[in-house]
Amino acid sequence: MRSTNALLFAGAAFGAVFASAAANAAEVAICSVADKPASFNHQNITLQGTAAAVKETTSQHGNDYTTFNLTDLSGCGAVTIFSWGHPVLKNGDHVRVDGVFETEHHQGRYTFYNEVEATKITPSP
């Protein structure tokens, strides 16, 4: 019983920390991230823009994921977004993305540059 309570407490504490980090994400302009990516490395950020080049994929291990470019309406730049699963999303959708930006991310034998790993993608007016 004691180990079950400790496990539940640890899970609740992790959830609170994760929710707090997501709530503290700074809303930034896509142009700022595209222009100076090192300034946002390993930060929780929130971006709003238009989805382009949406690509749904399933890995060799059977894990669904989606990548797309989030573009700014002014045309100043774009940021690559990675999301586990297949969110309801198509080219031209206006969305808000919460996630962690990394200038360099290693996933197995692959390396990805200047990408947000999305924790939440929602429609934006």
- Domain 25-123 listed as CATH 2.40.50.140: yes
List the chain domain ranges.
25-123
With H, G, I as helix, E, B as strand and everything else as coil, classify residue 4. Answer: helix
Tens-digit pLDDT profile for residues 100-121: 999 999 988 999 999 999 999 9
Residue 28: what pLDDT?
Answer: 96
Across the range 20-28, mean pLDDT stands at 67
- Closest of 47, 49, 65 to residue 105, by C-alpha: 65
**Please, which residues have CB within 8 angstroms of residue 1's CB and are 6 or more apart in sequence?**
none
Total-model pTM: 0.80
How many other C-beta atoms can be found within 10 angstroms of the C-beta atom of residue 79?
Answer: 26
Three-state SS sequence of 6-55: HHHHHHHHHHHHHHHHHHCCEECCHHHHHHCHHHHCCEEEEEEEEEEEEE
Q: Which residue has the higher pLDDT, 2 or 98?
A: 98
